[in-house]
Structure 1
């Protein structure tokens, strides 16, 4: 027999169609959804598919089905029909029983292991510059998707593929050799990733000057870019690196070490972590092995200049270079090798790449090549593509003049949180350490929530000031609601031993809150299946909003004892689900604000 109210309603609606219209309606033609807020009821059956059996208007059909359900489903208290929608009101006993048996449980929202292993690869920084605003969205998406999938029952491996080799690395190295005068993070007082990034910018400036000089001598821009002495020197350095030149390798290790130390500080402030690091310097040779495998299988072909290609025109794509004529790797060479290595290490059933949408084509090609090479695990690869993040012009200064540095942005968010919190007078009684921690939590909560509440594929405009609004659709609003609930529980002397008395009649705001809390596992499931933290982030906001409605409409601490205790239990369950949901999107909720 059906074990959820939705399943019961579908079963009895099928029985109603059979009894009333002597017809069978397939289950997949029946839709049950939550009732829209402007109508009375909690669940709605879409009547239109049934009218072809009833041969009556949607209103008349809905009235007949509703009367049948009222007679056969004890949990149904009332119904109304509006156009083609049958709105159902479930009894208060149904909702209070639901609260007692599900929502109040500590384990609510936890899924058992599904026995599947899944990898989420995110961050993937270059070791020639600091992390920027785009990296922040990447890291937050990757981390939260991984946490949601863990909650849904997967064994999840979080990986970071570090792009620690290639011409861009050599640019920073060459600039430091020319102009560094032995400068180090210690001597300069700069984080290592910022120091190395400065030399990348220095290289770029010198490169542009050389291009302009060559163009003035009559070369085209394309020729000037290739002939500029500084880029040729960087290319020669890359070739020496791949040949194992000891001096180049030593410089590379020293400068990369500076960058890694800087990255770890940034990751710590962002609150993200990784189970495994991969380095392209270790994987690009594996890629070359796969290129040879593809040549042997006839999947790739070699051109007269010795470069290796694959022809994907029959698949609606184009010819793609997979190895340069001089034997050096391109990005796809490295990605092929890394994909094989990751699978060999973990044998996961699925692997998610969190990478910006400017790489959509690259991943189409990568996955297609792996399929053509006969890799059985290639069908489990997925590119979680996300849009760029823009800032309102003039809102923030960037270190390089083009992108916003992640550390600068986090500093500004914490400072904005401090100002806003002090304006509202919410720091009384906190120590200096407690205040600093609170400002960090609020600032990071605002940043993370603003970036995660939007579906990953959408481009978004991030406004630091708008994100820290204690009354808006923001992280701080949800955090403040959690702190408010904790205050109510403390004032009410609540503990798990508080008796749970169930009222015979629920206020509408109580009923709506119970229904919303009961949806938590379904939201986790939908977020996991669609790799979308946005669904869970927006759900947390809806819970906070509904709790505030309940808080303002119903007395909690001054209610009669049984109602008071019930409302304290309802408040406790709400706080627990807000904290759990926010944790899955990487946001901490404070006990007080």
Structure 2
């Protein structure tokens, strides 16, 4: 039983003894920083069963708790808030009870699995800035859910078919002159993306020519030879034309290699892949079953719909009158297929931009109506756009901000700032480059993940690589500082087995505050998992680091003659470092031993 559970039990016992009433639950929260206390019990909800003045009720419960709970030292009541002060011994005992802070807060995985989908790019262009936020969010949420006790499968669905893919294929066929990634020394996704851009430029030229001949813009767009050829290529692909499929396989292969290189650079991975070319026909049989169950209805023209008006939405098309599927049909089929492939999946998280909010509301409702038990555990991890400061964006003709270019820019920015600080002059060239990359990626990831996913972000690369404030490099620098302390500690035995005898230690308020924040890590992991929010982990880590730096400035860690005190402070520093490293791992961020 945790202390919070013990406290809740004792508060219920106090209310029953003092007032003859039974509480169903007790609201506990951390005490606000401007009041003395560690845990606050909120009295106001108790007034439903206990009549009286909330301050007097709080005083009576506080007095009872001091008499019955040894860990409680004193209390104070502010309006309807009972602020409880815990004893130093409580925190020291907690600190001594944790054998390994490197795994602290993580829960063993259960049997039911959660599938997290992220990235899901098109194979006609490289990964871009929008994908960066997507993959960072999806990967981090997957890691947080694992730490909270879920079995997690990471997946993506690659959009490898359709007219967009044919545009790149056709442009390469017409203008490529046999170019390959090897011949051009270009990543495959960049090479294919260049031909998508080339198609767009040539297509626009044809549109202008047709408009000059008297066609309307709409007529010109539909009649331009290039678009007609691309549509014909799509028909050939769908018919299984050997040459078309071979070209499709070749160019998609180039793109997949490029994607993998970018994923590796960003530091994310996947357990399973799905391809739209395999899934685009899924779902039709489910629609047929849904018609029989009256989940769907057929209109006079033969099209099939789902009526969601009672749920405040509208009617949704799920099958066209010619029998062809729409994206909704495919997504229904893919969701069902994933559970068939992995029967232990009990829920799914879709990491997709907020422009698809409506689509996922409809998808989840339809799956519930179809009677799938896991449909109640579906979540759309919706996120806002990422913008760069004016002038940083590339024109549409050259695609949006490239993920590889962004990583390179972050590394360069980290290099410039680190060299100005001049603290790594003794590093080898290889060590410096590895550090610049770690700092640059850490800055990028932290800047994006510290913000609530739903909010739109203005990403400033220079601002993110700041060694002060709520940034990744500031936290990385603090971790490196802790490692320096541990190296200087030298003779202090950090590996000594058994608990420290801390009876001779008089805790400094800064030490107590540090342990208090460390103790909140397991709860923070669970809260972040419940809310699918890496921002909670990021900002928890910043609070821990701020408190450690205050401790570092106010408490002599090594400059004390009391060996027990010194060992305690070194071990406390080590614990903080391990929690930082563990928390940052949940965000996909590495930490340096030196910086």
- TM-score interval (norm. to shorter): over 0.9
From 104, 107, 113, give the equivalent of 1:117: 113
Look up the match of 2:581.
579
From 133, 143, 146, give the equivalent of 1:147: 143
From 342, 360, 363, give the equivalent of 1:363: 360
SS of residue paired to 1:285? coil
Which aligned pairs between 1:97-108 and structure 2 lie closer than 5 A? 97-102=93-98, 107-108=103-104
Asked if 2 retains the 8 angstrom alpha-carbon contact of 1:501 and 1:566, the reply is no
From 543, 562, 565, give the equivalent of 1:563: 565
From 2, 5, 8, give the equivalent of 2:6: 8
SS of residue paired to 1:183? coil
Look up the match of 2:169.
173
Report whether the alignment pairs 1:488 with 2:485: yes
Asked if 2 retains the 8 angstrom alpha-carbon contact of 1:501 and 1:565, the reply is no
From 414, 419, 425, give the equivalent of 2:416: 419
Which aligned pairs between 1:451-462 and structure 2 lie closer than 5 A? 451-462=448-459
Look up the match of 2:222.
226
Q: 1:231 to 1:295 in 2, by over 3 A?
A: farther
Q: CA deviation at 1:230?
A: 2.3
Q: CA deviation at 1:510?
A: 0.5
Q: Deviations over 1:449-476 (max 9, x none)?
A: 1111112122111111111111110111
Look up the match of 2:510.
509
Which aligned pairs between 1:503-542 and structure 2 lie closer than 5 A? 503-542=504-543
Asked if 1 retains the 8 angstrom alpha-carbon contact of 2:21 and 2:50, the reply is no
Q: CA deviation at 1:150?
A: 1.4
Report whether the alignment pairs 1:64 with 2:60: yes
SS of residue paired to 2:75? strand
Q: CA deviation at 1:53?
A: 6.8
Report whether the alignment pairs 1:377 with 2:378: no
Asked if 1 retains the 8 angstrom alpha-carbon contact of 2:23 and 2:46, the reply is no
CA distance in 2, matches of 1:68, 1:336: 57
Q: 1:313 to 1:13 in 2, by over 3 A?
A: closer
Look up the match of 2:125.
129
Report whether the alignment pairs 1:40 with 2:36: yes
Q: 1:303 to 1:43 in 2, by over 3 A?
A: closer
Q: Deviations over 1:240-262 (max 9, x none)?
A: 11000111111111111111111
Question: Relative to structure 2, which stretch is displaced further, 480-489 or 68-77?
Answer: 68-77
Question: Relative to structure 2, which stretch is displaced further, 221-230 or 47-56?
Answer: 47-56
Look up the match of 1:202.
198
From 344, 353, 359, give the equivalent of 2:340: 344
Which aligned pairs between 1:94-493 and structure 2 lie closer than 5 A? 94-102=90-98, 107-215=103-211, 219-294=215-290, 299-300=295-296, 309-324=305-320, 329-347=325-343, 348-395=345-392, 397=394, 400-401=397-398, 403-493=400-490
CA distance in 1, matches of 2:48, 2:84: 22
Asked if 1 retains the 8 angstrom alpha-carbon contact of 2:127 and 2:403, the reply is yes
Asked if 1 retains the 8 angstrom alpha-carbon contact of 2:23 and 2:49, the reply is no
Q: With structure 2 as the length reference, what TM-score do the two structures score?
A: 0.93
Q: 1:220 to 1:373 in 2, by over 3 A?
A: farther
CA distance in 2, matches of 1:529, 1:56: 36
Q: 1:310 to 1:177 in 2, by over 3 A?
A: farther
Q: CA deviation at 1:285?
A: 2.6
Look up the match of 2:553.
552
Q: 1:361 to 1:51 in 2, by over 3 A?
A: closer
Asked if 1 retains the 8 angstrom alpha-carbon contact of 2:479 and 2:577, the reply is yes
Asked if 2 retains the 8 angstrom alpha-carbon contact of 1:501 and 1:563, the reply is no
CA distance in 2, matches of 1:443, 1:398: 25
SS of residue paired to 1:124? coil
Q: 1:5 to 1:238 in 2, by over 3 A?
A: same
Q: CA deviation at 1:10?
A: 2.6
CA distance in 2, matches of 1:248, 1:26: 70
Question: Relative to structure 2, which stretch is displaced further, 230-239 or 56-65?
Answer: 56-65
SS of residue paired to 2:274? strand
Q: 1:414 to 1:401 in 2, by over 3 A?
A: same
Q: 1:64 to 1:314 in 2, by over 3 A?
A: closer
Asked if 2 retains the 8 angstrom alpha-carbon contact of 1:126 and 1:164, the reply is yes
Q: CA deviation at 1:359?
A: 1.0
CA distance in 1, matches of 2:582, 2:354: 30
Q: CA deviation at 1:527?
A: 1.2
CA distance in 1, matches of 2:416, 2:187: 26
Q: 1:399 to 1:36 in 2, by over 3 A?
A: same
CA distance in 1, matches of 2:69, 2:203: 76
Q: 1:336 to 1:214 in 2, by over 3 A?
A: farther
Q: CA deviation at 1:389?
A: 1.0
Q: Unpaired segments of 5 or more residues in structure 2?
A: none
Q: CA deviation at 1:571?
A: 0.8
Asked if 2 retains the 8 angstrom alpha-carbon contact of 1:51 and 1:61, the reply is no
Question: Relative to structure 2, which stretch is displaced further, 284-293 or 89-98?
Answer: 284-293
Asked if 2 retains the 8 angstrom alpha-carbon contact of 1:413 and 1:464, the reply is yes
CA distance in 1, matches of 2:168, 2:403: 19
SS of residue paired to 2:349? strand
CA distance in 2, matches of 1:214, 1:544: 63
Q: Unpaired segments of 5 or more residues in structure 1?
A: none
Asked if 2 retains the 8 angstrom alpha-carbon contact of 1:35 and 1:87, the reply is yes
CA distance in 2, matches of 1:53, 1:255: 69
Asked if 2 retains the 8 angstrom alpha-carbon contact of 1:134 and 1:389, the reply is yes
Q: CA deviation at 1:570?
A: 0.5
Q: 1:217 to 1:370 in 2, by over 3 A?
A: farther
CA distance in 2, matches of 1:198, 1:491: 53
Q: CA deviation at 1:216?
A: 5.1
CA distance in 2, matches of 1:309, 1:85: 54
Q: CA deviation at 1:314?
A: 4.8
Asked if 2 retains the 8 angstrom alpha-carbon contact of 1:357 and 1:386, the reply is yes
